[in-house]
Structure 1
Amino acid sequence: MIEIEFSERQKQIIEIVKKNEPITGESIASLLNLTRGTLRPDLAILTMLNILEAKPKIGYFYNKDSSEYKNNSLKMIKIDNIKSLPVVVSKNTTIYDAAVTMFVENVGTIFVVDEGILIGVISRKDLLKSSLGGGNPGDIPVGVVMTRAPKIVYCKSNESLEEAIRKIVENEIDCLPVVEEKNKELKVIGRVSKTNIINYIYDSF
């Protein structure tokens, strides 16, 4: 079992919820003199770890059945330990074929590469937008709808699980490409998604 040492802010959040449950995120932020947005990554981490339970329109509860984690922190768990194989398509792939790949591979995000170098990212939302725009998806290349650099949010193998969670939460995305940077180019070597993170935490705890 991996043990977790929470940050001081996360410890404060846990104590506030213990004393005031149910309590909304806005109320927690007010007690800490912070904005709700500032607390989002911390609340997401504590909820994913099952330390807190969130109920819509009610607030956060402390999970009394959760263990008290100590010693190692989320910063000690590296992306290299949880990444999975990337799902990629070439820059010449059509929107239709990209949608088929997404369905067959059962993923919500695929990466567009040119000779292994990351040049774009496509999500289910991107494909939905393209379907509303008209045109034949079998004729339109993925480059028309993909998110391009420098707007691509990514991570590296030596980054921590905590950092990956923060990037996913703060950017409101489901998946990050894991890359190696060489000569200012990004080579895709993996992916880390909400599913990766949840499965890893479930298996570890």
Structure 2
Amino acid sequence: MKIQLNNRQKKIVEIVKDNEPITSHKIAERLSLTRGALRADLSVLTMTNILEAKPKVGYFYSNTDTKYIDLDKLYRKRVEDIKSIPVVVKEETSVYDAIVTLFFEDVGSLFVIDDQQILVGVISRKDLLKVTMGENDCNQIPVSIVMTRMPNIITVEKEDTIFQAAEKIVRYEIDTLPVVEPEDDGKLKVIGRISKTDIVRIFVDFSLEG
């Protein structure tokens, strides 16, 4: 099966072939782009084994016998196809109970909702770690005190592509995205979640199917 890359990804591969090892900074310079603009493309190229990345060294073109896959077909897959059940808590939930829920469910983030399943916040492992480092009584502190609130939450919708989701995860350096459904009043109802692990798994599974 022939690999189908977009034009920018083809240019990146050629630059790496001709200049390996080369850093993302140098690749961005040659394309007159920022490093942030290339993150998603570089992630795709490394996850599909077209490129190899070595910390503090740079990118190499992979000489391994990589299985060719149709990336265009992969890009068309929707968030709805791989989303999982969201792990949610209420605003009044204590930090202690949130920690128990997070580790019991083995997730990286919890979504905070109201009685109508509307997204009002997100709380991560890092948020919970920060609040437990002092002499705080975690049973007395509600998650509403430490959560990230709307509109400062990055979300995706079920009709978005997994590539769009991957791009947000890479760009904003987060582990999990809430999958939301807009209501008539503009509020966002939580209907799922998609994580960095989900993204990696779909790339691996798609490659094996090829």
What TM-score comes out, normalization by structure 2 length? 0.91
Question: 1:14 deviation in Å?
Answer: 1.1
**For residues 197 and 67 of structure 1, what CA distance do their matches in structure 2 show?**
18
Q: 1:166 to 1:4 in 2, by over 3 A?
A: farther
- Within a 5 Å distance, the mapping from 1:71-86 to structure 2 comes to 72-86=72-86
Alignment of 1:16-165 (within 5 A): 16-64=15-63, 65-70=65-70, 72-115=72-115, 116-165=117-166
Q: Deviations over 1:118-160 (max 9, x none)?
A: 1110111111121234411111000011111000110000001
For 1:17 and 1:49, locate their aligned partners in 2 and report how far apart those are by CA, in whole Å.
Answer: 15
- Of residues 192, 195, 207, the one that matches 1:193 is 195
Alignment partners' CA distance in 2, 1:180 and 1:142: 23
SS at match of 2:157: coil
- Corresponding letter in the other structure for 2:47: M
Give the ranges of 4+ consecutive aligned residues of structure 1 lying more than 3 Å apart after TM superposition.
Answer: 67-71
| SS at structure 2 position matched to 1:173 | coil
Q: Structure 1 residues 71, 108: closer, same or farther in 2, change over 3 A?
A: closer
The total of aligned residue pairs comes to 204
* CA drift at 1:69: 3.5
**Displacement after TM superposition at 1:74 (Å):** 4.2
Check the 8 A contact 1:5/1:74 in 2, yes or no.
Answer: no
Shift of the alpha carbon at 1:33?
1.9
Distance 1:188 1:134 in 2: 33
SS at match of 1:50: coil
Instruction: Report the Cα offset of residue 45 of structure 1.
Output: 2.0
Contact kept in structure 2, 1:6 and 1:73, CA below 8 Å: no
Per-residue deviation, 1:72: 2.6
Sequence identity percentage: 53
Q: Cα RMSD over matched residues?
A: 1.7
TM-fit CA distance, 1:71: 6.9
Deviation at 1:16, TM superposition (A): 1.2
Point out the more displaced range, 35-44 or 7-16.
Answer: 35-44
Structure 2: gaps (5+ residues):
none
C-alpha separation between the residues in 2 aligned to 1:31 and 1:176? Answer: 32
Alpha-carbon separation, structure 2, partners of 1:71 and 1:25: 21
Structure 1 residue 5: Cα displacement: 2.7
C-alpha distance in structure 1 between counterparts of 2:62 and 2:153, whole Å: 35
- In 1, Cα distance between the equivalents of 2:156 and 2:41? 19
Alpha-carbon distance in structure 1 between the residues aligned to 2:70 and 2:11: 15
Partner-residue secondary structure (3-state), 1:40:
helix
CA contact (8 A) 1:4 1:74 kept: no
CA contact (8 A) 2:20 2:59 kept: yes
Counterpart residue identity of residue 143, structure 1: S
2:5·2:71 contact (CA, 8 Å) conserved in 1?
A: no
After superposition, give the CA deviation of every residue in 1:65-124 in whole Å (9 maximum; x if it has no partner): 323444734431110111111111111111111011110111111101112111110111
Paired letter, 2:86: P
Cα deviation, residue 6, structure 1? 2.0
Alpha carbons of structure 1 residues 101 and 190: separation in structure 2 relative to 1, 3 Å: same
Give ranges in structure 1 of 5+ residues lacking alignment.
Answer: none
- Which amino acid in the other structure matches residue 159 of structure 1? D
- Find the aligned partners of 2:29 and 2:9 in 1 and give their Cα distance: 15
